[in-house]
Amino acid sequence: MNRQHMGIVFGGILLLVIAMGISRFAFTPILPFMRHDVGFSLEVAGYLASSNYIGYFIGALWAGFIYRQRKTILLVSVVINVLSVGLMGLLELYSVWLVLRLIAGITGGLIFVLTSSIIMDYLAKQSLSRWSGYVFSGIGLGIAISGLCVPMIEKQFAWQGTWIGLGILSAIFVGITHHLWKSLSVQDSVKTTASFDTKMIKGFMLWLILSYGLEGLGYIITGTFLVDIIHNIPSLQAYSSYSWVVVGVAAIPSAPVWTLLLEKFSAIKILIVAYILQVIGILLPVFSQTVWSVLLASFLFGLTFVGIVTLTTSYARQLFPTQSGLVVSVLTTVYAFGQIIGPIIAGQLVEVYHSYKAALVFAGTIVFLALLVMLVGRWLDMKKQAVADNTISISQSRS
């Protein structure tokens, strides 16, 4: 990979830092400070989070219908996204926050899908598809950056200044990406709606989509409330911000590592490992509330949630190699739909049981169910394929 290719990939990484690590997930480490100063409940926090995920759902779905001027639409979305982050610190009104988180979600969904498809298409054209997993490291890098920056900025400028500071940092990243992408020419993609109707909702792909949607519902509970959960354990309060840094540090290398494993082992086997590790990471704080247990839980969560995104999108793209934009859009839309529901359910469970443990048990159960759905779907697909192969073999022997 030459310098130009590396620059384009790095630009894509920075865009995911903005859209995912900052715009989307910075809410997690900022949440305890906002709740302390403003005084809203975890249920209200769940609605704010879900507003963002509703927007993400809309943006991801919308991106699947964008075939022309993808680069221009992407860069405009990034600018709007950055503004929505900065305005969170300038406007203190709950209804406005709901709108801003919605806008951040819409543009975040557009950025994730368009960046992923543009980079995947570019690398495939250069015969460098094996490097595509590195783009997703931007999610972990952004989480680590937000985890480090939030407590430092908040200490000096409160939570309002934190949002503004992250907006300024995002603007700097936009400038760098714009410079790196000057030479990037993005071709219009081909409309593939008919292909979606006839292929993507059949066979194992359907099970993969359903499983991915359940993963979105389950993982997002930890992804939204992890820092707040740890912050509200008196003996661990000092480690709440560090936990989010650990998530980011674990997530940074996870995409390329899981992609490398994908070249050596079957995608299903690796996904099984990733799902099991994630369930352990989600449930660990339920049974143990020590420093090391919550940091281990954070590490396992960071290691797996980006990995599952990378593995699922890469595997689906292998099944439909010429339709990267549509494949990523379909998967991301279903994933986003699960994310809308997760924080609301978690907030209700906490209000009813007055404990985060119920929410985490629910999240772990749903992620385990996602694994079962994927395995059952794979088994049914293999059984169907075996029957088809046997039928062909019999007809050939008769002829």
| Confidence (pLDDT) at 42 | 79
321 compared with 126, residue with greater pLDDT:
126
Name residue 354's amino acid: H
- pLDDT class for 123, splitting at 50, 70, 90? confident
- Please state which of the four CATH numbers 3.30.70.100, 1.20.1250.20, 1.10.1060.10, 2.40.30.10 is assigned to the domain occupying 3-389: 1.20.1250.20
Q: Write the secondary structure of 158-197 as one string of H (helix), E (strand) and C (coil).
A: HHHHHHHHHHHHHHHHHHHHHHHCCCCCCCCCCCCHHHHH
Q: How many CA atoms lie within 13 A of 296 on its CB side?
A: 14
* C-alpha–C-alpha distance, residues 115 and 373, integer Å: 29
pLDDT in tens, 207-266: 888 999 999 999 989 888 888 888 888 888 888 878 889 999 998 888 788 878 888 888
Name residue 148's amino acid: L
Average pLDDT, the chain: 86
Instruction: Kindly state the average pLDDT of the residues 175-200.
Output: 68
- CB neighbour class for 349 (10 Å; exposed up to 12, middle 13-18, buried from 19): buried
Q: What is the pTM of this model?
A: 0.81
